[in-house]
Structure 1
Amino acid sequence: MKIQTLIIWLLTLISLLTFAQNNQVSPTIAYAQGIVQTNATFFDTEGYNVFLQVFEYNFDEKGINKVKKKFSIPKETIANEDTEFPNAKILLTLDTNGESKTHSIYYLISGGQGKIKVIGFSTLADRVKTIEREFYEAILSNSLPKNIYTPMQVDTIQFAGRGINLGPACLWRGIRNIQCPDKGQMSWTELSSLDRAKQITAGQKANNANLKMGKVLEDTEVDILFEGQPTKVLKRKLKITIPQFIMGGSNILIIYYVTTEVRGRYVSCVLSHYTDDIGAKKLPPLLKEVMELKE
């Protein structure tokens, strides 16, 4: 090989490697999922629920107070500023429910004449401002990749790096919260940190333990296969304190709380079904898509 050809080949290789490094997508973006609705867009990423919504309020004290009222934010909450989020007014709240804590952060910016754009974050885990800033900037710059968005009409869902075909009978109950009537329900988030995944799962357990309309009957640790991986999880039997004749079926809910690694990312997942969906010792079709009970 001539020296000139070798030099050109090396320069091309270096350029390709540099391009690949510069275009690596961070977990904050790669693990995100979004759903566009008429009045707002919702996202899940790294243990955060995120929304984008525009209101026809002036970007002034009166308009900010209207945002507070809209989201039941205490009137005395001060709108702060942060140099890392230029031109934004920031509202922070912390809600406690037993051992569960929910951080909510609302970034308010001018959406043009007579409008306020609100980008809201909430998490059951500790705040990570770098995650918030990266996703906030991606929303404002309209640089989120199109492949993170999923249609409201359910067919195939993306779960931790693979597609699961469910058909049209299932419904989104929230971002990454899917329910298939009489076949179970599953909600999850995908993260780059095991500690944050554990925090999210612990928060979900605490929230469900403090339900006003539910009573924990039993907690047991069981062995399962989750996406083929052996995993120990908490299995909870919860009684919904609504009469069965009103429920229209069983009022005993079986819940599995899962925290594990799946295909290079960490997943916090809550799976549930009523006992009349299939029986207390078996799994309904939706749950069977991702887990198996070990004998």
Structure 2
Amino acid sequence: MLKQISIFILLIVSQTSFGQNEELFNRLRAIHNSGTTFYNVDGVDFTNQNISSEFNEKNLKKAYRKYKIKKKDLKKTDKELNFDNYKVIKREEFEDGLVSVSINYFVKNKDNRISVFWFGYYDKSNPEFERKMIDLILNDAIPKTCFSSIKTDNINFAGRDLELGGNCNWMNINNIQCPYYGQMNWSVHKTKMSADLSIQNQLKATKIKNGGKVVSEEEVDIIFENVPTKAKKASYDFTGVTSLLASMSGGKNLTIYYISEKVRDNYVSCTLSFWNNDNINPSGLPPLLEEVMKISGK
């Protein structure tokens, strides 16, 4: 009888774990590019690269140099991770309370080689999440359905297929730019709080990191993925500013919509942007943005 109870409890735990992973996989997107795998879920960007060198002190020192880890950087071991590892945490503080957290893991994989993971956050890190993702990746447990093609003919936008014709470019995972047609980046979240926080941090980061002058900010009514909602609309002036962002586009004025809304049973944080020299339609939006939103009343 006791054995039957133990098996029953194990079955419930296994089913719960499977269900939780299935929910995670529905939000997770990944893409392979030039030896690096890029991931995004719940507003967190992270990457994985594998090094053919054996996991030993000599090769780890070479790996540290390659990934710009300095001697003075503290290297810790996460004893709760199921693989031998060294972990390096870096924090950078900006204005307006914005904190950037960058974490590198150097992990001994099943082939006794070095797997390097990077996690990027605003505010604070999530070690439990990091362990889970490293474990899933090193055990080859991420479903193929989570992976996007490097081609952009058809993309998965927060659970919906978008036909883009292949003239766009991935700037990062869940970050696509179409020349003169606009750009958007997004993340799928489990909670509204997570999506709201991601948008707040992106708004701060745009102001602080890109150097443009804030011309205006306002809250506007829009329809996003057929859901009536509100967005923060911000305009930036890059006239006379030396900025990689502006130099790549050739534009001087940038408009960004910051959105957090429930879409298809998950919450989506999304920034949609365009330059003054993009092809702007009578709707007030360039073609890419028109695929997922419209301004109420237009």
Q: RMSD across aligned C-alpha pairs, in angstroms?
A: 2.8
Structure 2 equivalent of residue 12 of structure 1: none
Tell me which residue corresponds to 1:11: none
CA distance in 1, matches of 2:70, 2:257: 34
Q: Which runs of 5+ in 1 are unaligned?
A: 1-16
Amino acid at match of 1:72: K
> In the superposition, relative to structure 1, how do residues 27 and 19 fare at CA in structure 2: closer, same or farther (>3 Å)?
closer
Larger Rg: 1
How many residue pairs align between the two structures?
279
Alpha-carbon distance change, 230 to 23 in structure 1, aligned in 2, over 3 angstroms: same
Tell me the SS of whatever aligns to 1:210. Answer: helix
Contact 1:177 1:186 survives alignment (8 Å): yes
Counterpart in the other structure of 1:254: 255
SS in 1 for 2:184: strand
Deviation at 1:65, TM superposition (A): 4.1
CA contact (8 A) 2:249 2:275 kept: no
Whether the aligned pair in 1 keeps the contact of 2:38 and 2:48 (CA below 8 Å) is: yes
Letter in 2 for 1:109: V
Matched with 2:138 is 140
Cα shift at 1:70? 3.1
What is the correspondence of 1:1-295 to structure 2 with a 5 Å cutoff? 23-24=18-19, 25-57=21-53, 59-86=55-82, 87-98=84-95, 99-111=97-109, 115-240=113-238, 241-242=241-242, 249-279=250-280, 282-295=284-297
Structure 2 letter corresponding to 1:257: Y
Distance 1:267 1:48, change over 3 A: same
**Shift in alpha-carbon separation, 1:52–1:249, aligned structure 2, 3 A:** closer
TM-score, normalised relative to structure 1: 0.84
Note the alpha carbon deviations across 1:99-135, whole angstroms, 9 max, x for none.
3222222221124788421122112254333322221
Please report the TM-score for the alignment, with normalisation by the length of structure 2: 0.84
Q: Determine the C-alpha separation between the residues in 1 that align with 2:278 and 2:174.
A: 21
Q: CA deviation at 1:28?
A: 2.7
Comparing 187-196 and 275-284, the one that deviates more: 275-284
Q: Distance in 1 between matches of 2:80 and 2:87?
A: 11
Q: Structure 2 stretches of 5 or more lacking a match?
A: 1-11
Residues 98 and 123 of structure 2 are in contact (CA less than 8 Å); yes or no, is this contact kept in structure 1?
no
- How far residue 230 of structure 1 moved from its aligned partner, in angstroms, is 1.6
Alpha-carbon distance in structure 1 between the residues aligned to 2:158 and 2:123 = 19
Q: CA contact under 8 A between 1:28 and 1:134: conserved in structure 2?
A: no
SS state at 2:284 partner: coil
The residue type paired with residue 228 of structure 1 is N
Q: Which piece of structure 1 moves more, 258-267 or 79-88?
A: 79-88
2:3 maps to none
Evaluate the alpha carbon distance shift between residue 196 and residue 213 of structure 1 in structure 2; reply closer, same or farther with a 3 A threshold.
same
One-letter amino acid of the structure 1 residue matched with residue 150 of structure 2: M
**Percent identity, aligned pairs only?**
30
